[in-house]
Amino acid sequence: MTSTPMPRLDSAPGAERRPAAARGAAQAQARAATAGGTLADQRRAAVAQRALAATANQGPGMGGRRHLAEAVRLSPRMLAQGARGQARAGPTLQAHAGVPVNDDAGLEAEADAMGRRALARAAAAPGAAPRHAPIQAFMTVQRAPVALAHFVTGAARYTGYLSWLDSWGKLENAIGRYAALSEDNHEGRAALLASMTALSMTWTDGYTHRRNTGKAEAGDAVRKALVDRLDTLLTQEEGELNASAGALRTGPLPVSPEPRLSKEKQADANDKSAPGGGMFRVDTAIHDQDLKVVGTGHQGRVCRILHGWQAAVANVALAASKSDYYKVEAEEEELAGKNFEAIHTGFAVKANLIEVNRLRAAPGLKYLHRHSALAHPLFPHPPVIGDIVQVGLGDCYLLAAMISVVHADPAHFVNHMRDNKDGTVSVKLYGDAGQPVLVRVHKSVVVHDRKAEKDQTDAFASGAMWVKIYEKAYVAAGFHGGGAETLPSAEQSYGMTEGGHGHIAQAHITGAAAADHRIQTGREQIPGELNKHLKMPELTARLQIADHPQRLEDMTQFGYLNQIPGKLEDLLQKTFVTTADVRAMLSKEGVKAAYVDTIIAAVQEEKLLTGPLGAGQYSKGELDLFESVKGLLDAGKKMTIGTRKDIFDSPEEVTGKGGSAGESMVKGLVGPHAYAILDYAPKGHVAGQALSLKLRNPWSSYGRKYKHAHAAGPVRNDLGTTFEGAERIEDKGASGAESWFDLADIGAYFTSYSSM
């Protein structure tokens, strides 16, 4: 038997670009590993060589250092195995150039198994996954410890009395303890993985020695098969623990300051003169009424934008261009924080200001460090939409956008985040025109500041660690839902992100352009369209006959019908209007039943209005909306949708207020609020079926269900089945996180949807 000698480590492509110290260390490892001369040892050394060769095109940069580090990480095992190889068996053959080798089949099989384990662990190590690898490349579906509870059974079980001394007894004990670990005990998993790896190697050494000396024990063969299986499982587990840190790769980044803990200062909705918030986009001149410069507002500083001043302007020059200016004054220092500036009251060019929230301090909150990558993994499992929970910050548009992305692409956030394992996390977002924005934030979360740690609950985003950190990174980078640009603040603040648009957040998250679609069901066209049918041609014709016996009655009806358009305008101010409402209004106004039937038939034929809730009768605008959403979802688009502010006709309908921004809660619907669109139903629908959209509430609870007159509880409305006397009911629990909303409710209570 002959063998081709391995190439010199320093002759690998690109080796001349590697640091001499690292190259020398690798050469020493290879010499030590091959000293025994076995093919097994040569394969182990080849693992180190391949890790070094991987740096060929990277030089001594970050990637190169990572691969060199991997070679060094594997070296203790290689060195140990090399030494054991010398002790177990001498050479049996001499290969090319006089290199002594041992071709023992058992050692070869063992070498193959260990080589596979080493290579698999190298692949699972940080940095091995490609930058935008599919999630399957570095994450398994289940992150819980593997099921080892009954791994060792039958003849493989230890039957002696010295399990604390015997390597198999200790390994069996470690396997049992590992199987009992909870899913989130990453520290315990890491410790036992290391222990089981060492114990399996120790037992394998003893097994090989017994086999070579003819002293095999009962159960050895069964146990050897189990060890081989265990190797595969341990490799999988190590890969999971590595994957929990995320896959983003960046160069060195400065650590962003912790954002200010704040909330939006809500203005009185009835006070039209209440000032708004502004931030200077660039250094900006402030003018008086004569357009003379009286001061400067500096970039990133905040001010108050005043309203209702235009009518009082006396200066002709300013009056002619007042649409180009905001009137500004200094913000209260307590509200402005580090963004305060004592500016002159005056006029600033609109284009130089960004409209932002006015802020207030959020008392009773603090940052809580969660530095440990094992105790607090960034990704405790592959991302799912249930990880995302909105609690106390009014950024539903951001969390709804995150849900839409996870729903379509679970790997996205793993590819865009990385736990640096130094108490910081790096995050990649996108700014104007999809330009990457990299930010590094402290691995800490916002909690309620309470004495007992168990009471220090999440104050802003909740759920998985990656969600809380991503929300913080969004704030720290200066993003807000009101525009694509980042805020040039001296101090970034959570309150600046309250209120925004889903399509803007989607673009910030993915870097792809997102579209905003206004929901137009044609309601504004109803008066004009209906007025054509109110003229009643046959009625008008009879009125031309002076002595027609119905003339008096016809004139009375004609008078009633002429008043209907104005009455209809009032009716359409309601949030939810159906053909039944129009019928009732016509009858109330004295219109004859025959005329009412004629008008309603025309309304239904032209699909001007929706029918009774649950009846499967929709307006043309609603049907067009359904087809649009259906087409976008079928094309794999990520979608969000937002409700109007007034989702009720009377304040008495409101049953509660949201904890994040004081949103109204009405029979399972929240407004104003953003949801993610997940699905539509039924598939392959036909005319006359009830149509629905499946929405996810970022609160992870509270949704709408429907019931009909003949059922005690909720009915399924995602099957296309129509139901009589539909009534809306609220689901306050977690089961309400995802709700099937009837298309008529979508058209009535929602204002726009985004797609990307």
Find the mean pLDDT for residues 96-125: 44
Q: What torsion do the CA atoms of 352, 355, 358, 359 make, to the nearest 10 degrees?
A: -90
Q: What integer pLDDT is reported at residue 551 of this predicted model?
A: 58
Residue identified by tokens 């001349």 is 16
Q: Domains along the chain? A: 9-243 (no CATH), 266-356 (2.30.30), 365-513 (no CATH), 523-605 (no CATH), 620-755 (3.90.70)
DSSP annotation of 443 reads S
Q: Which residues contact 447 (CB under 8 A, 6 or more apart)?
A: 365, 366, 367, 368, 456, 457, 458, 459
Share of the chain above pLDDT 90, in %: 44
**Do residues 278 and 354 lie in contact, with contact meaning Cβ atoms separated by under 8 Å?**
yes
Find the mean pLDDT for residues 433-452: 93
> Residue 508 — left, alpha, or beta (φ > 0 → left; ψ -120 to 50 → alpha)?
alpha
Q: What integer pLDDT is reported at residue 69 of this predicted model?
A: 35
How far is residue 569 CA from its own chain's centroid? 42
Q: What torsion do the CA atoms of 241, 246, 249, 251 make, to the nearest 10 degrees?
A: -90
Q: How far apart are CA 64 and CA 56, in angstroms?
A: 8
* pLDDT tens digit sequence for 200-244: 888 899 899 988 998 888 788 888 888 888 888 888 777 777 778
Q: Angle CA(299)–CA(303)–CA(305) in degrees, nearest 5?
A: 125
**How many Å from the N-terminal Cα to the C-terminal Cα in the chain?**
62
Sign of CA dihedral 128, 132, 137, 138: positive
Q: Does 534 score more than 90 pLDDT?
A: no
Q: Does 416 score more than 50 pLDDT?
A: yes
Task: State pTM to two decimals.
Answer: 0.73
**Do residues 337 and 491 lie in contact, with contact meaning Cβ atoms separated by under 8 Å?**
yes
Sign of CA dihedral 552, 553, 554, 560: positive
Nearest to 510 by CA among 578, 419, 408: 408
- CB-count burial class (<10 Å; 0-12, 13-18, 19+) for 385: buried
Share of the chain above pLDDT 70, in %: 74
Find the mean pLDDT for residues 164-192: 79
Q: How far apart are CA 135 and CA 76, in angstroms?
A: 31
Q: What integer pLDDT is reported at residue 601 of this predicted model?
A: 85
CA distances from 154 to 150, 196, 591 (A): 10, 20, 88
Under the banding of pLDDT at 50, 70 and 90, the label for residue 533 is low
Between helix 186-212 and helix 167-179 the angle, nearest 10°, is 150
For the chain, give the mean pLDDT: 79
Q: How many residues does the chain have?
A: 756
Find the mean pLDDT for residues 409-414: 94
Q: Mean pLDDT check: name the lowest of 118-132, 306-320, 513-527.
A: 118-132
Q: DSSP 3-state assignment of 354?
A: strand
Tokens of 567: 């009455």
Does 98 or 330 have the greater pLDDT score? 330
Does 601 or 349 have the greater pLDDT score? 349
Sequence-separated contacts (24+) of 654-663 with Cβ below 8 Å: 655/730, 658/699, 659/391, 659/392, 660/390, 660/391, 660/392, 660/393, 660/394, 660/395, 660/396, 660/699, 661/264, 661/266, 661/394, 661/396, 661/498, 661/499, 662/266
**Do residues 170 and 163 lie in contact, with contact meaning Cβ atoms separated by under 8 Å?**
yes
**Do residues 278 and 326 lie in contact, with contact meaning Cβ atoms separated by under 8 Å?**
yes
Q: Angle CA(338)–CA(340)–CA(343) in degrees, nearest 5?
A: 160
Nearest to 106 by CA among 232, 205, 231: 205
Q: How far apart are CA 553 and CA 522, in angstroms?
A: 34
- CB-count burial class (<10 Å; 0-12, 13-18, 19+) for 290: exposed
* pLDDT tens digit sequence for 676-687: 999 999 999 999
* pLDDT tens digit sequence for 454-477: 889 999 999 999 999 999 999 999
Which uninterrupted H or E stretch holds 623? helix 620-634
* pLDDT tens digit sequence for 378-399: 998 889 999 999 999 999 999 9
Q: Does 669 score more than 70 pLDDT?
A: yes
Q: What integer pLDDT is reported at residue 358 of this predicted model?
A: 95
Under the banding of pLDDT at 50, 70 and 90, the label for residue 63 is very low
Q: What integer pLDDT is reported at residue 120 of this predicted model?
A: 45
Q: What integer pLDDT is reported at residue 170 of this predicted model?
A: 87
Tokens of 379: 């990704």
Does 650 or 181 have the greater pLDDT score? 650
* pLDDT tens digit sequence for 263-290: 999 877 667 778 999 999 999 999 988 8
Q: How far apart are CA 593 and CA 586, in angstroms?
A: 9
- Rank 41-45, 246-250, 386-390 by mean pLDDT and report only the highest: 386-390
Q: What integer pLDDT is reported at residue 290 of this predicted model?
A: 85
The stretches of 247-379 forming alpha helices (DSSP H) are 316-320, 333-336
CA distances from 556 to 319, 329, 491 (A): 53, 61, 70
Q: What integer pLDDT is reported at residue 311 of this predicted model?
A: 65
- Rank 37-51, 177-191, 555-569, 608-622 by mean pLDDT and report only the highest: 608-622
Under the banding of pLDDT at 50, 70 and 90, the label for residue 335 is very high
Tokens of 168: 């198999």
Q: How far apart are CA 607 and CA 744, in angstroms?
A: 13
Neighbours of 266 (CB within 10 A): 14
Strands 293-297 and 100-101: what pairing?
A: unpaired
Q: What integer pLDDT is reported at residue 599 of this predicted model?
A: 81
Q: How far apart are CA 486 and CA 476, in angstroms?
A: 10
Tokens of 250: 């960046």
